[in-house]
Structure 1
Amino acid sequence: MKRLFKTSVLISSVVGVVLFTACNNTQQKSSGLEDKHIPQQDSTYACPMHPEVTGKKGDICHKCGMELVAATDENENRVEVELITEPQSIEAGTSTKLTFAFKENDRNVPLDISHERKVHLMIVDENLTWFRHIHPLEQADSTYVVSETFPYGGKYILFADHKPQGVGPTVDKKVITVKGNPNSVKVDLTPNFVSVIDGYTVTLENGDDLKTIRTQALEISVERNKKRLAEKDIEPYLGATAHIAMIGKEDIDFLHIHPTTDKRFPIYAETHIENPGIYRIWVEFQTYGKVHTADFTVNVLQGNEEYQEGGHNHH
């Protein structure tokens, strides 16, 4: 996640203390950085995914649905994430206890709720063929615990999305190795924009037009029994119409995307992809109390810099 801007304050002192006027309080160094930060009484709040969207405390980004955070150096993440697995040696097909501790100065720090949970844990295998989105539960010692059974041997990548109090949302990535036989299913990463799950046909309508360097839409339609669904036909899930995770095959670049409202599509989001290549996309949506997970494979092409619109995702 890119660092939000910092505001520097220029103070000049003589024999006494001289207070400058408000115009001096907004003067900035050309670098945009300062060793010391003097907090302002009225901080500017911005979206961590779309910094061009600003407002006041408690406002929601109209593009991605994330809560705006104070645009100060307090948002720089200083929290370390520790993971303990029980048993330490993980075997495929055996339940494993995962314990996460979010620490600053060797002390567990409190987390804020973000999209109805304090920790969103997304797990994929190294071939991006297996995906899980689960939520560790908070314990009395402020650690977070969940159990998972890994289906086959190999490496798995764990993304822990969390928001320490006073800090912007961030994602921690860890890699674990699971013993056992590897997946026998052949990996197929051919671009695919249609997913059929639980009787629903889910289509990424603009899947063949994704490019880097520009903010663009993910336009997703949902059909059941030859009838196209509207947003009202989908139940809220984790505080939004759906949940979207997008992961790059080459560098395992992770994008956590929150849909917003659009009259044309029941699931719609805006994203900014930095690197070209093959990506896997998982879309979770809920109907009649059940969560369905559709998946796509896309080939993101290098965009034209002249088309750049700015913005970034929560990595």
Structure 2
Amino acid sequence: MKKVGLMLLAAVLLLSACGKAVQSPGHEGHQGGASEHAVDDTQAVFQTADGVKAKQDTQLNIQINGKDGKPIDQFDLNHEKKMHLIAVSKDLSYFRHLHPEYKGNGQFTITTQFPAGGEYRLFADYMPSGKAQTVKSYTLKVQGDVPQAAVLQPETAWTKTVGGSVVTLSFDHLMAGMDVNLNYMFKDAQTGSPIKDLQPYLGAVGHVVILDEAAEQYLHVHPTDEKSTGPEAVFKTTFPKSGKYKIWGEFQRGGKVITVPFVVKVP
């Protein structure tokens, strides 16, 4: 167990040294990740039991330390939570937005399951008190049958029905390196009427997480109008480079959270 922990620590320190791949530049307070000019002075050590298996409870511990190796004790709330943990499969077919419990002394913990064997990318999104929002990633290998990888196919239609809501996504324009508005429109699936009773989810009308095809470019985007209740929710972001991206929008209505995925090809 001690040997495994040391190996995990070494892997995370290596990832920390390559933080550019998982820290997205901030944008007017609407986009998560560390500021482009902020100094990242933290380390994240991901620890699990030896031999994580699919469809079994797995306790994941994330220790946040300063560069001096000492635990960071104080964290600011970021949309009602001290840490957001995004877990995705390598092919991006699986997505979960989790919130580890803070135990103090820099340690966060959560128990979860993974649906199948294979590689998963974990993104810990947190904000030490008085510091910039920070994102650290880790690749976790899960034992078990590995399904055939899903093909990341860009959408040809931009409307989906999820949980009784018809959700349409549109863009004002789409180009890498430029500001873009993600416009979500909501209608009731039964009546066709505009939805005006969206409920706050983690303190806002919704949240959007975006990953590129390689799960290296991470964007956590917040709405321009957090108090909106529909029928429109607008998010502003910048795609850092050309390529395929998967977008997960999370919204709440009637006490239930729905996740709406789209795949886009950015010129």
TM-score past 0.5 threshold = yes
Q: The residue matched to 2:145 in structure 1 has which SS?
A: coil
Higher strand share: 2
Aligned residue for 1:279? 245
The residue correspondences of 1:1-315 to structure 2 (distance < 5 A) are: 49-50=26-27, 61=29, 64=30, 75-85=38-48, 87-104=49-66, 105-109=68-72, 110-184=74-148, 186-191=150-155, 192-206=157-171, 209-224=173-188, 225=190, 226-230=192-196, 233-250=197-214, 252-261=216-225, 266-301=232-267
Aligned-partner residue type, residue 82 of structure 1: V
Maintained 8 Å contact 2:122/2:139: yes
Which deviates further from its counterpart, 161-170 or 137-146? 137-146
Checking the alignment, whether the CA contact within 8 Å between 2:83 and 2:125 is kept in structure 1 is yes
Give the aligned residue type for 1:212: A
After superposition, the Cα gap between the structure-2 partners of 1:212 and 1:65, relative to the gap in structure 1 and judged at 3 Å, is: closer
Question: Which runs of structure 1 show a deviation greater than 3 angstroms over 4 or more consecutive aligned residues?
Answer: 184-188, 262-265
By how many angstroms is 1:177 displaced? Answer: 0.6
> How high is the sequence identity, in percent, across the aligned residues?
29
**Aligned with 2:183: secondary structure?**
strand
Question: 1:153 deviation in Å?
Answer: 0.8
Q: 1:47-88: per-residue Cα shift (whole Å, max 9, x none)?
A: x723xx5xxxxxxx4xx288xx9x9x8x41111000111x22
Please give the per-residue CA displacement for 1:96-115, whole angstroms capped at 9, x wherever unaligned. Answer: 00101100122210211111
Provide the rounded CA distance (Å) in 1 between the counterparts of 2:80 and 2:230. Answer: 26
Q: Give the match for residue 34 of structure 1.
A: none
Taking a change above 3 Å as real, the CA distance of residues 196 and 185 of structure 1, as seen in their structure-2 partners, is farther
- For these two proteins, the number of residue pairs brought into alignment is 237
Q: Structure 2: where are the runs of 5+ without partners? A: 1-18
Does the aligned pair in 2 maintain the 1:121–1:159 contact within 8 Å? yes
Partner of 2:9: none
Q: Per-residue deviation at 1:193?
A: 2.2
Greater relative CO, 1 or 2 (CA 8 Å, sep 6+): 2
Distance 2:31 2:229 in 1: 16
The answer to whether the 8 A contact 1:234-1:266 is kept is no
The Cα shift of 1:204 comes to: 0.7
Q: Structure 1-normalised TM-score?
A: 0.69
User: Aligned letter for 1:177?
Assistant: K
Q: Give a deviation string over 1:158-185, Cα, whole Å, max 9, x none.
A: 0110001221001111111111111247
SS of alignment partner, residue 142 of structure 2? strand
TM-score normalised by the chain length of structure 2: 0.81
For the residues of structure 1 that align with 2:167 and 2:230, how far apart are their CA atoms?
Answer: 14
Per the TM alignment, residue 276 of structure 1 is displaced from its structure 2 partner at its CA by 0.9
Distance in structure 1 (CA, Å) of the matches to 2:254 and 2:121: 31
